[in-house]
Structure 1
């Protein structure tokens, strides 16, 4: 070892300062090039997956029980966040992950839907009524998925999400075991309607943020319907809303991640809530929502997210995305009304 060290020291001393500088610069350029190539590879969004195949593989049964599709889809989405190329990037503190912002925004969109579904599983889908006992595994998994998504150490975000995966798999195992009736999944129309309410709220917010890419003048409706005294001081005033230029692509990719997650969850819902949807003649409505969301996953041919004006020379990708999200949200509102009917 000492001879090897002396050899390299002797070799380095024999190189003059000009050549040393060139070697250092060449090494830096090579490292930057490799980091850029790796960053582009990590920036490729995950492909769609078949929820039915995932349910059969995870439960190792040809005919999964009710609830297995939704649970398997939730588990696979978390796996995708953690194990896709580059792994989980939102908490990276070193290049090239530190330089990337589109994929972390995509991850956050998926994560929000994962959190909403885990909460729905805990409070509604796994309980027969409001006074029933919640599933212990789901009660542990949900708060772990709400852990800070940017924490990188002590504990890391990935470690907390993997702990949540263990509890979700425990629930899935008991749900698929007919000899353990303590794990249940109640595929009722009222449970589905409650979860769709959360989805509608998320999509409405995303639509507004996407539309604000070009700037909007809106009427302040924060206190609409409140007492006349307070309403007169706030409601009716005009507000100027505009997404910061550096955040436009982040909001766009968050919407793509949200839509990607919802497509799969709704496909799983169609399997698990099939009977309830058929009774309400609502299956076609679910498929239409999926169709609207699929349009958000089209290939982006531009090297960057363009931000042209509404009818300007350049396109505005955010406004196009907002139109798809708004149409999906309108269909969800109609579906909730349909599910509420007797």
Structure 2
């Protein structure tokens, strides 16, 4: 009761400002200014709350919880499928919900979180494609009907606000994944499968390496790099007597795009951490047999380092050895090492 009285006395002067008599006394202009300022402050606070990135979670514990709830058996592939489902659910139900397709403030000003969502969504699309094409069937078998319906749902335009809304399509895709998971875990299952083989994992790792390599390059370009322009004029190329001129061009990320690339990479890394942890569980016997488990764990550790708290109010873009930090280059170093590990893991699986 004393706490309630304390807050009541503390807020009394603030609430008095919005009393109709006080607003009438201040006049239309000042009243409008006060209300506008209040709305802007509330929107700012809401934006801060919605900008919080979700915490990492234990994929095996989350899958076990779902298995107990649905009376399912934990079979190979259950953790990977459950993690994919959980990631889609998190994208829709995190703080503020799915923001990329919002058309009202404060969401339209929160491009950092939209880019974070885009990074997560790309990994959802890649894994759902791999699950449909590689992990759930051999080369000579037909595709799983539920996975064939789920994957196109995740490829809906991420900015679609209405008819169909992006999050509604992702929800439908999640339902198809749940159906596949339920059939996979059924005691007398003969309709769904998850193949724990070298080829089934290798193709997805190749896609991951391409994603990480591209992000590392875009992050490094924050300070600008001189590169050789390999686009030779065809007329010069056909002329045997002429010497083709190779020019240097500067590859530099525009200043307004630097934070977009940074948060897209954070989102990509967030999703990959969980997907790789799930792969570690479902493909554990294969990875141990190939002596590749430690490499995978090193990759996960590098990606976990990308999720450290950013204490700066903005993404800094200092020069390589300048006075100020360059957050993009720091993030690029983690991504590059993780990508090296993914490529090494891919090569081990390919050799064997």
What TM-score, normalized by structure 1, do the two folds share? 0.90
Q: 2:136 aligns with which of 109, 126, 145?
A: 126
2:158 paired residue number:
149
1:57 paired residue number:
65
Whole-angstrom CA distance in 1 between matches of 2:120 and 2:24:
53
Asked if the contact 1:77–1:261 (Cα under 8 Å) also holds between the matched residues in 2, the reply is yes
Gaps of 5+ in 2: 1-18
2:5 paired residue number:
none
1:3 paired residue number:
none
After the TM superposition, which residues 285-300 of structure 1 pair with which residues of structure 2 at under 5 Å, given as runs? 285-300=295-310
1:43 paired residue number:
51
User: 3-state DSSP class of the match of 1:238?
Assistant: strand
Question: How many corresponding residue pairs?
Answer: 326
1:245 paired residue number:
255
- Cα separation, partners in 2 of 1:164 and 1:15, compared to 1, 3 Å: closer
After the TM superposition, which residues 85-100 of structure 1 pair with which residues of structure 2 at under 5 Å, given as runs? 85-100=95-110
After the TM superposition, which residues 105-184 of structure 1 pair with which residues of structure 2 at under 5 Å, given as runs? 105-127=115-137, 129-184=138-193
Q: 2:226 aligns with which of 207, 217, 224?
A: 217
CA RMSD of aligned residues (A): 2.3
Whole-angstrom CA distance in 2 between matches of 1:147 and 1:240:
34
Asked if the contact 2:73–2:187 (Cα under 8 Å) also holds between the matched residues in 1, the reply is no
What TM-score, normalized by structure 2, do the two folds share? 0.88
- Cα separation, partners in 2 of 1:12 and 1:289, compared to 1, 3 Å: closer
2:290 paired residue number:
280
The Cα shift of 1:25 comes to 1.2
Q: 2:113 aligns with which of 103, 117, 125?
A: 103
The Cα shift of 1:173 comes to 0.6
The Cα shift of 1:234 comes to 8.3
- Cα separation, partners in 2 of 1:203 and 1:84, compared to 1, 3 Å: same
User: 3-state DSSP class of the match of 1:240?
Assistant: strand
2:10 paired residue number:
none
Asked if the contact 2:284–2:293 (Cα under 8 Å) also holds between the matched residues in 1, the reply is yes
After the TM superposition, which residues 24-39 of structure 1 pair with which residues of structure 2 at under 5 Å, given as runs? 24-39=32-47
Whole-angstrom CA distance in 1 between matches of 2:275 and 2:26:
60
Whole-angstrom CA distance in 2 between matches of 1:55 and 1:73:
7
